Amino acid sequence: MLVLVAVHALTALIAPALVRLWGRHALYLVALVPGATLAWALTQTSGVRSGEPVVETLSWVPQLGLELALRMGTLSWLMVVLVGGVGALVLAYSARYFRSDDPGLGRFAAVFVAFAGAMLGLVVSDDLLLLYVFWELTTVFSYLLIGYDPAKRASRRAAMQALLVTTLGGLAMLAGFVMLGQHAGTYRWSEVAENLPGGGYLAVALVLVLLGALSKSAIFPFSFWLPGAMAAPTPVSAYLHAAAMVKAGVFLVAMLGPAVADLSPWRPILLVTGLITMFFGGWSALRQVDLKLLLAYGTVSQLGLLMVVLGAGTRDTALAGVAMVLAHALFKATLFLTVGVVDHATGTRDLRELSGVGRRAPALAVVAGLAAASMAGLPPMAGFVAKEAAVEALLHGGTADLVVLAGVLAGSVLTVAYTLRYLWGAFADKPDVPATSVRKISWPFLAPAAVLALAGAATGLLAPAVDRLLAPYADLYRSAEPGYHLALWHGLTPALGLSALAVAGGAGLFHLMRRERVRATLRLPFDGAAAYKKSMSLIDRLAVELTGKTQRGSLPFYLGVILVVLVVLPGGALLAGSPWPQRFHLWDTPLQGLAAAVVVIAAIMAARALRRLTAMILVGVAGYGIALMFILHGAPDLALTQFLVETVTIVMFVLVLRRLPVKFSERPIRSSRRGRVAIGVAVGVVTAGMAYVAAGARQAIPISVDFPDQAVSYGGGKNVVNVTLVDIRAWDTMGEIAVLVVAATGVASLIFRHARDLDRRGDIPGGGRAESRPRWLTTGATARAQSVILQVVTRLLFHAIVLFSIYLLFSGHNAPGGGFAAGLVAGLALAVRYLAGGRTELNGAAPVDAGAVLGAGLFVAVGTGLAAMLLGGEFLQTALLDFYVPVLGKVHFVTSAFFDVGVYLIVVGLVLDILRSLGAEMDRQQETEDAEDAEAREKELV
């Protein structure tokens, strides 16, 4: 069984390719897959007849107790036969229904066969969770099939409606399953059924499960989605909405029935909702003029009947119920297929426009007539046998059963009436309607419907054989009396009399309805469609209001909210809970106060600056001030790095700011500015409070007290900070250099762009370049504009600086320095070359691609780590090597130096990337624009 499901899935994957190759003929090939399912099921017949289920189990998620537990008993076998058989025939029909150039055909084939696979999985699942998964898969595939034509609004809406309603039910069902499964400690239905809870718990679980079944099978109050789903192509309606998917709910009721039929409130819910559905569905069918909608309402009505019969929950009604499932699948699929044929042959499904079709297409009329006879319950069709069984079973029940019987008979009257309406509407000669022209109907188009109709007749004629096949399911109901047997002829029984009465009543009703006078409007006590619409628009409105309130789309607003929360919550906690340190010191050395004053003044002025350059310089001053504080703190590595980074930052800013306007755009309105400052000050105060409390709160000994010893013994270096970076916390550094590579890539991709549509829009109002302002610091491609002396000096210095950076790199293990600082120094050397001589100088200094440098750095860094692993250590573990080299003498080498080399290369690569993007490429773009402007000016002159 698992193999069959897998074959369906695989076929779904290749179906579009097959359709592309062979057009609609590929559907015949695809039809082989459900056909194989049918064939396999037929080979299992003898085992099923003896009541032996076929079982397959495969462990799936053992942690959740989830297993692919499949089990095919009688009921499942029947469903597999229907799913496979009807599926194959409908696909064969589709091969004539669609045109080869239909753009949606490949998708149709794929989704259809996927649906058949999901349905197959659903009916053979023993595990309730697995059943749920397949259940939702059928929902999703049916959504795709109903929405076959995504360009049509009706089709989209119907698909969405079916999806929402059945998913809602499915979720309720899942909750019910979970309740049952948690109680039983297993989700295998065959075991859960033995171990059911009781009382209110069980009642809630059953109601939830029934919600799923009722919504799936379009039972009141969920009936409305099924007629809407008729927006789908006819083959889809025939399969999903007659034979397969809507039967899932019926199947579930039938599957659970033997164990829960006598438990409250199972039976009352099914009987009441089923009867309502049957009656109103039948009545609505009588008032339709679209043949397909007529059948759709008929299906709703029949599903109601099925629920009633299966819900009655005795051995005999169960037998009648499964016989009815079989009969209904056969005749309803046939009828839908014939409607599709009529539609294709005449171009309409409106019974007011059709006339004389029966005379022009007699074969079609015979096929439809056979199926209709089955639907109306005429002998010798399957529908007759099933209905007899139901009437007989209810006749011998209690008072409640007799009430139900009355309802069922009333439903039968309606069924006969709308069956006649269908036959009359589709095939009869109507005196006041001109005869419809009928195109020739090819036999492959009609054959699938004919096969189904004949199967219906055969089922009726072979009723005793069918009885033997289906009886094992009915026998699951414990029953003392010897049971009923399906047969065509039981003698002149009261049941036969009632059937005859129903047929006569139906004929009479149809006759009355034709006079058009009794078209009384019957309204459902509760309109599901209106409730659906109302709740949908309510949810939509709620979503809009909520989104409109919370999602303002404004970055400052979002940040503001986050920051206010920061002030309120941690700030409040700070005020409420923490013990504030009583002792503090003003500074470690008075010099700190001096540096702090510089930083504070620069930061405040930067926040108030109106010019970009001023702000940039002030931010830089603050940064250098911080570096000074690092020195005074006793952190030379930090100070070194901060100085270098600050310098590189200034270079970057200058490169970009030369293109941006001098001033910031006009300041925002005063009130919102006050708000910003207020939030800023509040956050600053809270952060300062946190700093104050945190610094005094430490009680444990810092982990870093052991670092100096470890640095020497494991890391082989004296500079503890550097060893921390490349060894003790090397993973941090690894992550960080990865971020740097990403940032560099981002910068390059923002500046280098070739897509024309992303190019500047110099002509939009208020936009464009600052044409009138003098340009500064433009470093041209050639050296014509630059100072020659500067160039020469930088060339002389360049190698010395690079050499110094390499010294920093290798000495960094024992003295201030290391990969970061060294890389920044080398990067600054490149920056100086670029500033002095433009991009030719830069290319001369570093004739490599920045990406290559970055990649090489990452390669070296990761390679160091992996090499340590290959040699049996941990990732990035350091090894100390002491060896003797003839000339140099004793050499002490630490492998983490390689890692630092990787870091060095990445930092150099980053700076090079920045210079290439924000420097050289921006120059080039400027020159291009200048050239374009000059050209435009020349044109104007001409």
Q: Binding to another protein (CB under 8 A): which residues in 97-156?
A: 153, 156
Give the whole-angstrom CA distance, residue 662 versus residue 614.
10
* 876 is a site residue for another protein (CB under 8 A): no
Which position among 23, 676, 801, 840 is part of the footprint of another protein (CB under 8 A)?
Answer: 676
Q: Which is nearer to another protein, 217 or 641 (CB)?
A: 641
Q: Which stretch binds another protein (CB under 8 A): 57-65, 94-102, 703-711, 883-891?
A: 703-711
Q: Which stretch binds another protein (CB under 8 A): 65-73, 86-94, 282-290, 541-549?
A: 541-549
- Interface residues for another protein in 794-823 (CB under 8 A)? 814-816, 820
* Least distance CB 581 / another protein (angstroms): 6
SS3 928: helix
Q: Which is nearer to another protein, 525 or 765 (CB)?
A: 765
* 683 is a site residue for another protein (CB under 8 A): yes
Instruction: Supply 748's token pair.
Output: 């390059």
* Least distance CB 698 / another protein (angstroms): 6
* Least distance CB 147 / another protein (angstroms): 9
* 668 is a site residue for another protein (CB under 8 A): yes
* 180 is a site residue for another protein (CB under 8 A): no
Q: What is the number of alpha carbons within 13 Å of residue 209 lying toward its C-beta?
A: 28
Give the whole-angstrom CA distance, residue 764 versus residue 773.
19
Q: Which is nearer to another protein, 50 or 671 (CB)?
A: 671
Q: Which is nearer to another protein, 411 or 909 (CB)?
A: 909
Q: Which stretch binds another protein (CB under 8 A): 287-295, 326-334, 463-471, 681-689?
A: 681-689
SS3 286: helix
Q: Which is nearer to another protein, 516 or 666 (CB)?
A: 666
Q: How many residues bind another protein (CB under 8 A)?
A: 136
Instruction: Supply 368's token pair.
Output: 């439809």
Distances (CA, A) of 127 to 58, 173, 473, 702: 11, 14, 19, 54
* 855 is a site residue for another protein (CB under 8 A): no
Q: What is the number of alpha carbons within 13 Å of residue 561 lying toward its C-beta?
A: 9
Decide if 234 contacts 336 (C-beta within 8 A).
Answer: yes
Give the whole-angstrom CA distance, residue 229 versus residue 381.
28
Peptide bond into 221 cis (omega under 30): yes
- Interface residues for another protein in 883-942 (CB under 8 A)? 907, 910, 914, 917-918, 922
* 263 is a site residue for another protein (CB under 8 A): no
Q: Which is nearer to another protein, 31 or 824 (CB)?
A: 824
Give the whole-angstrom CA distance, residue 40 versus residue 109.
22
Instruction: Supply 822's token pair.
Output: 């060294």
Residue type, 860: V
- Interface residues for another protein in 706-745 (CB under 8 A)? 707-709, 711-712, 718-721, 724-725, 728-729, 732-733, 736, 739-740, 742-744
Q: Which is nearer to another protein, 388 or 913 (CB)?
A: 913
Decide if 367 contacts 356 (C-beta within 8 A).
Answer: no
* DSSP secondary structure code for residue 478 in this structure: -
* Least distance CB 223 / another protein (angstroms): 18
Place of tokens 């959504």: 143
* 237 is a site residue for another protein (CB under 8 A): no
Q: Which stretch binds another protein (CB under 8 A): 60-68, 415-423, 458-466, 701-709?
A: 701-709
Distances (CA, A) of 616 to 176, 607, 651, 832: 64, 10, 10, 19
* Least distance CB 152 / another protein (angstroms): 10
* 530 is a site residue for another protein (CB under 8 A): no
Instruction: Supply 214's token pair.
Output: 């009722």
Question: Please, what is the Cα angle at 399 between 395 and 401, to 5 degrees?
Answer: 50
Q: Which is nearer to another protein, 441 or 606 (CB)?
A: 606
* 756 is a site residue for another protein (CB under 8 A): no
SS3 69: strand
Q: What is the number of alpha carbons within 13 Å of residue 535 lying toward its C-beta?
A: 9
Q: Which is nearer to another protein, 65 or 620 (CB)?
A: 620
Distances (CA, A) of 896 to 471, 618, 809, 840, 902: 78, 38, 12, 36, 10
Instruction: Supply 757's token pair.
Output: 């549509």
Nearest alpha-carbon partner for 819 in 927, 711, 706, 899: 899
CA 542 to chain centre: 23
Place of tokens 């911080």: 626
Which position among 62, 766, 847, 872 is part of the footprint of another protein (CB under 8 A)?
Answer: 766
Which position among 99, 478, 517, 698 is part of the footprint of another protein (CB under 8 A)?
Answer: 698
Peptide bond into 570 cis (omega under 30): no
Q: Which is nearer to another protein, 47 or 668 (CB)?
A: 668
Which position among 25, 511, 761, 937 is part of the footprint of another protein (CB under 8 A)?
Answer: 761
Residue span 575-614 as binding mask against another protein, x where in contact by CB under 8 A, dash where not: ------x-xxxxxx---xx--x--xx--xx-xx----x--
* Least distance CB 178 / another protein (angstroms): 30
Place of tokens 């239905």: 189
* DSSP secondary structure code for residue 917 in this structure: I
* 653 is a site residue for another protein (CB under 8 A): yes
* 160 is a site residue for another protein (CB under 8 A): yes
Task: Compute the residue count for the chain.
Answer: 942
Q: Which is nearer to another protein, 336 or 834 (CB)?
A: 834
Element (H, E) at 372: helix 362-376
* Least distance CB 71 / another protein (angstroms): 38
- Interface residues for another protein in 477-496 (CB under 8 A)? none
Which position among 10, 289, 406, 660 is part of the footprint of another protein (CB under 8 A)?
Answer: 660
* 268 is a site residue for another protein (CB under 8 A): no
* 9 is a site residue for another protein (CB under 8 A): no
As a whole number of Å, the end-to-end CA separation of the chain is 82
Q: Which is nearer to another protein, 268 or 768 (CB)?
A: 768
Which position among 751, 836, 850, 868 is part of the footprint of another protein (CB under 8 A)?
Answer: 751
* 471 is a site residue for another protein (CB under 8 A): no
Phi-psi region of 553 (alpha: psi -120 to 50; beta: other; left: phi over 0): left
Residue span 613-652 as binding mask against another protein, x where in contact by CB under 8 A, dash where not: --xx--x--xx--x--xx-xxxxxxx--xx--x--xx--x
Give the whole-angstrom CA distance, residue 778 versus residue 919.
9
Nearest alpha-carbon partner for 383 in 510, 311, 486, 262: 486
Give the whole-angstrom CA distance, residue 466 versus residue 474.
12
Which position among 465, 512, 522, 559 is part of the footprint of another protein (CB under 8 A)?
Answer: 559
Instruction: Supply 453's token pair.
Output: 């109709």
* Least distance CB 631 / another protein (angstroms): 9
* 265 is a site residue for another protein (CB under 8 A): no
* Least distance CB 910 / another protein (angstroms): 6
* Least distance CB 396 / another protein (angstroms): 48
Q: How does 82-109 read in b/e, with b if 16+ C-beta sit within 10 Å?
A: bbbbbbbbbbbbbbbbbeeebebbbbbb
Q: Which stretch binds another protein (CB under 8 A): 6-14, 98-106, 537-545, 802-810?
A: 537-545
Q: Which is nearer to another protein, 226 or 638 (CB)?
A: 638
* 665 is a site residue for another protein (CB under 8 A): yes
